[in-house]
Amino acid sequence: MVELAAAVLIATGTLFFIAGTVGLLRFPDIFCRLHALTKADGLGLALIALGAALLAGTPGAVFRIVLIWFFVATASATCGHLVARYARQSGAGGGAP
């Protein structure tokens, strides 16, 4: 039963990654693309990490998965903010400078 729940979580997370990628390719400007990508990938990563944590055999492995999730989520948010700030300052985003 745990394996089934983990598989559903991982599959759902993968769907969020795919949705974020579609948003990246289809939306008109950089700000919409960043929003779709960061939101969908953040939730996708959380679901995949939760599914992997369910399959982990030891508390140490769960801790490492949570630690990886935390650092990747922090880096993703920081990079998204930096890209959006640069696009706004340079006027390349299609929005008002």
pLDDT > 90? residue 97: no
User: What are the φ/ψ torsions at residue 66 (nearest 5 degrees)?
Assistant: -65, -40
Residue 95 domain-assigned? no
Count of structural domains, the chain: 1
Residue 39 domain-assigned? yes
The DSSP secondary-structure symbol of 92 reads T
- pTM for the model: 0.83
- For residues 77 and 70, the answer to whether their CB atoms sit within 8 Å is no
Residue reference for tokens 């990886």:
68
pLDDT in tens, 43-82: 999 999 999 999 998 999 999 999 999 999 999 989 989 9
Residue 45 domain-assigned? yes
C-beta neighbour count of 49 within 10 angstroms: 21
**In percent, how much of the chain has pLDDT > 90?**
67
Residue 97 domain-assigned? no
- What range does the domain containing 32 cover? 2-90
pLDDT band at 15 (very low <50, low <70, confident <90, very high): very high
